């Protein structure tokens, strides 16, 4: 049943990508899209499909998948359903670094370096959260609390920077913070790809460890899980995935929180299934959020982050409400 | 299950603790404890709250590092052994484990196979057989596809025990496996656990709270107070009014069950006038 769920999600994603290819400020009939895909010509349609829509769709899928997997891993290793890369400060660290770059360094360096700045920010904040919550190893609840605190602090820093920087930089920073796939190019897709290709096999290899740790530290220890090492490796995978997504698409919040929950409803909490299912659900969410942003308010092209948050925020409240009722 | 073994009592203990001191943060709990767990027996750690019985069990299980002393499993320091190798020989069930939402009984029991599996070798015939046996032995086969969190307390505890059994270890340590369960359920669990020792040659170490159940089911009792072992031996020898007074500060008479001969304690009621102030 779960295998067919994953297959179904894959088919849905493929169909959605196809739909997304046809829609835009210049709607294209499916047959023409197919023609441009199979036999590219030196035409406007070929350009629109190959250079504008296809890389953007590919980036949306990769970013959504990365954020969702980062969230799925994080939620399982800290045993907290409310954990996600944006809740525990990884995303906000990346955002602060990115805004810092836009406000202070963008006159000296090309914007191509922005992803690296964001990735560095994600890494630094992850290291900060881990070292500040360290106490004979990683204590999951301390990790979440310290992360929330750090997210608040870096958020304040980001706001301060936007307020004091000039209008143009502030505007760019603002759009980046919302999370946008506008003007995505093939080189972005190539840039993010290694950040998925490395962590995904590693975290699948450690899926059993994550399942065991979900039973609690002492049970996992009794089963022979090297807890500290496994948790560090999985955490590193989560940071790499989240950092990469944020670096290439900005502060798309809530995908990392919602997608794993939706996926868990479909396939259960078994990590070997949850990770691929989350990736597909996350990809679908970002793909549709971006499609809405592209076509719903034509001729305006709105950041996908608006739509993700629009659905994500109420879902977060619902989740909090449900956890409260359980107690 | 392994073939029935009649007596292992002359065998060398495989799990021993030497001069163990351990505790949390700045509060020392264990103060130089020496212990050897008798092979093929059901040993029960008994003592008042805060006496260090759970701390001792956790230290022996390697989940807690001692501040001084060593735990040896088959002659090797357990805290410096490969944790997966240890998990093939020693299974533990901590106090009050919580299964994640949506986990099925079969998945939980299957987790017991973790130390025997590698990335390339999963769900082998041996795994399936161990899981089937463990579920059958603990009577949870009929719930196999139900969610653990939807079961009753006693059923849930049987599932956790099945998980430890699927691990196929000769040594099994359980921290208060019967707490918060109905008396009947506690008795059923202890019957199951003592059969493991007596019919299948497993070595069990339990922390229990109930004095009479401990006296009825233990082959060997270890009484602890204030981080030290006060006395140990078979219940018939050490489950006495004097020891209960010494260890628990409990005024009680010890009677003997006419059928089994095992000792039973009955608290002495205070005379109405001499009510002790509530602490």
Which domain, by its residues, includes A293?
Answer: 2-326
State residue A184's pLDDT score: 78
Looking at residue B276, what is its pLDDT?
A: 61
Q: Do A219 and B115 touch (CB under 8 A)?
A: no
Q: Do B101 and A269 touch (CB under 8 A)?
A: yes
The answer to whether the Cβ–Cβ distance between B85 and A216 falls below 8 Å is: no
First vs last C-alpha separation in chain A: 32
For helices A227-249 and A114-133, angle between their N-to-C axes, nearest 10 degrees: 150
Number of domains in chain A: 1
Give contacts of A201 with chain B, Cβ < 8 Å. none
A316 to chain B nearest CA, in Å?
A: 18
Neighboring chain A residues of B118 at a CB cutoff of 8 Å:
none
CATH for A270: 1.10.3470.10
Q: Report yes or no: A92 and A149 within 8 Å, Cβ to Cβ.
A: no
Q: Which CATH superfamily is domain B15-239 in?
A: P-loop containing nucleotide triphosphate hydrolases (3.40.50.300)
Alpha-carbon distance A249 to B200, whole Å? Answer: 60
pLDDT for residue B8? 53
One-letter-per-residue 3-state SS of chain B: CCCCCCCCCCCCCCEEEEEEEEEECCEEEEEEEEEEECCCCEEEEECCCCCCHHHHHHHHCCCCCCCEEEEEECCEEHHHCCHHHHHCCEEEECCCCCCCCCCEHHHHHHHCCHHHCCCCCCCCHHHHHHHHHHHHHCCCHHHCCCEHHHCCHHHHHHHHHHHHHHCCCCEEEEECCCCCCCHHHHHHHHHHHHHHHHHHCCEEEEECCCHHHHHHHCCEEEEEECCEEEEEECHHHHCCHHHHHHHHCCCEEEEECCCCCCEEEEECCCCHHHCCCCC
Pairs of CB atoms within 8 A across A/B:
69
Chain A nearest-CA distance from B33, in A, is 22
pLDDT tens for chain A, 327 residues long, are 577 888 899 999 988 888 888 887 777 888 877 877 887 777 887 888 787 888 999 999 999 999 999 999 988 888 777 788 887 788 888 889 888 888 887 677 777 788 888 888 888 988 888 888 877 777 777 888 888 899 889 989 988 888 888 887 788 787 778 777 877 788 888 888 988 999 999 999 999 999 999 898 899 999 999 988 998 899 889 988 988 888 888 878 788 888 898 888 888 888 889 999 999 999 999 998 888 888 887 777 777 788 887 877 787 677 667 765 544
Q: Which of B23, B24, B63 to mutate to test the interface with A (most CBs of A within 10 A)?
A: B63
The answer to whether the Cβ–Cβ distance between A269 and B100 falls below 8 Å is: yes
Q: Is there a contact between B97 and A219 if contact means CB atoms under 8 Å apart?
A: yes
Which residues of chain B fall below pLDDT 70?
A: 1-10, 272-279
State the pairing for strand pair B228-233/B220-225: antiparallel
Bridge partners for A265 per DSSP: none
Global ipTM: 0.87
- Beta-carbon separation of A218 and B111 below 8 A: no
């Amino acid at each position: 049943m779960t295998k067919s769920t994953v297959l179904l999600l894959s088919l849905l994603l493929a169909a959605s990508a196809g739909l997304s290819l046809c829609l835009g400020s210049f709607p294209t009939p499916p047959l023409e899209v197919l023609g441009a895909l199979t036999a590219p010509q030196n035409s406007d349609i070929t350009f629109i499909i190959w250079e504008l829509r296809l890389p953007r769709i590919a980036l949306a899928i990769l970013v959504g998948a990365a954020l969702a997997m980062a969230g799925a891993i994080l939620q399982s290793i800290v045993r907290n359903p409310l954990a996600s890369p944006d809740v525990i400060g990884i995303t906000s660290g990346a955002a602060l670094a990115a805004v810092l770059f836009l406000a202070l360094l963008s006159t000296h360096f090309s914007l191509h370096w922005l992803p690296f700045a964001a990735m560095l920010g994600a890494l630094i904040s992850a290291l900060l959260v881990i070292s500040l919550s360290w106490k004979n190893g990683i204590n999951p609840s301390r990790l979440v609390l310290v992360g929330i605190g750090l997210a608040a602090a870096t958020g304040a820093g980001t706001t301060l920077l936007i307020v004091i920087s000039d209008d143009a930089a502030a505007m760019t920073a603002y759009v980046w913070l919302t999370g946008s796939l506008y003007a995505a190019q093939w080189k972005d897709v190539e840039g993010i790809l290694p950040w998925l290709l490395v962590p995904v096999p590693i975290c699948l290899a450690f899926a059993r460890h994550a399942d065991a740790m979900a039973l609690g530290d002492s049970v996992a220890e009794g089963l022979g899980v090297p807890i500290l090492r496994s948790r560090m490796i999985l955490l590193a995978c989560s940071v790499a995935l989240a950092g990469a997504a944020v670096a290439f698409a900005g502060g798309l919040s809530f995908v990392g929180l919602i997608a794993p929950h939706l996926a868990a409803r479909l396939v259960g909490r078994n990590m070997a299934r949850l990770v691929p299912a989350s990736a597909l659900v996350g990809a679908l969410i970002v793909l549709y959020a971006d499609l809405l942003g592209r076509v719903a308010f034509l001729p305006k092209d709105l950041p996908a982050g608006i739509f993700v948050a629009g659905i994500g925020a109420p879902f977060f409240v619902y989740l909090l409400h449900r956890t409260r009722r359980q107690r | 299950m392994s073939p029935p073994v009649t007596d292992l009592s002359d065998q060398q203990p495989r799990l021993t603790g030497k001069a163990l001191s351990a505790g949390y943060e700045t509060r020392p709990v264990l103060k130089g404890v020496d212990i050897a767990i008798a092979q093929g027996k059901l040993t029960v750690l008994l003592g008042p709250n805060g006496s260090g019985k759970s701390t001792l069990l956790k230290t022996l299980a390697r989940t807690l590092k001692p501040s001084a002393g060593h735990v040896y499993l088959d002659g090797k320091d357990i805290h410096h052994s490969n944790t997966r190798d240890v998990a093939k020989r020693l299974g533990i069930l901590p106090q009050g484990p919580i299964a994640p939402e949506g986990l099925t009984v079969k998945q939980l029991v299957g987790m017991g196979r973790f130390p025997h599996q590698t990335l390339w070798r999963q769900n082998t015939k041996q795994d399936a057989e161990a899981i089937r046996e463990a579920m059958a032995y603990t009577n949870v086969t009929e719930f196999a596809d139900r969610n653990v969190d939807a079961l009753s307390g006693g059923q849930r505890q049987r599932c956790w025990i099945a998980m430890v059994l699927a691990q196929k270890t000769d040594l099994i340590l359980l921290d208060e496996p019967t707490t918060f369960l109905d008396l009947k359920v506690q008795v059923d669990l202890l019957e199951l656990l003592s059969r493991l020792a007596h019919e299948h040659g497993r070595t069990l170490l339990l922390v229990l709270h109930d004095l009479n159940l401990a006296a009825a089911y233990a082959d060997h009792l270890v009484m602890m107070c204030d981080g030290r072992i006060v006395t140990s031996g078979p219940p018939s020898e050490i489950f006495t009014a004097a020891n209960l007074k010494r260890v628990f500060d409990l005024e009680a008479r010890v009677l003997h069950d006419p059928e089994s001969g095992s000792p039973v304690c009955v608290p002495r009621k205070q005379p109405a006038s001499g009510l002790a102030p509530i602490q």
